[in-house]
Amino acid sequence: MPSGGTTQPGPLSVAVAEILRREFNRSDFVSQKALGAAVGISQSQMSKHLRGERVLDVDQLDALCDALNLQIVDVVRSAQAAARRRRR
């Protein structure tokens, strides 16, 4: 695994972001700032995560899933299926 620098989001990360963005839009959170505060990141970072421009680490993904009442396994499974469909 490469060290240092910024990791560019791959197809799976982008698919995860799409799922999280969709679920955020359906949620009771009134803003990205409120969701970010719930998981301990800034609104700016939250925006980048939800646009698929920044890679989430596993702990951040877990916190976001918890805040949005999602099962991390379901999110990853759905994202993996979506990413595989796009590759075909």
DSSP character string of 12-65:
HHHHHHHHHHHHHHHSS---HHHHHHHHT--HHHHHHHHTT-SPPPHHHHHHHH
How far apart are alpha carbons 9 and 32 in whole angstroms? 20
Ranges of the chain whose pLDDT falls below 70: 1-6
Alpha-carbon distance 67 to 88, whole Å? 33
Instruction: Say yes or no: domain 11-87 is CATH 3.90.1150.10.
Output: no
**pLDDT, tens only, 44-68:** 999 999 999 999 999 999 999 999 9
pLDDT for 37: 95
pLDDT at 45: 96
Q: What is the pLDDT of residue 5?
A: 55
Q: What is the DSSP letter of 8?
A: P
Q: Could you state, in order of their start, the residue ranges of all structural domains in the chain? A: 11-87
pLDDT of amino acid 87: 85
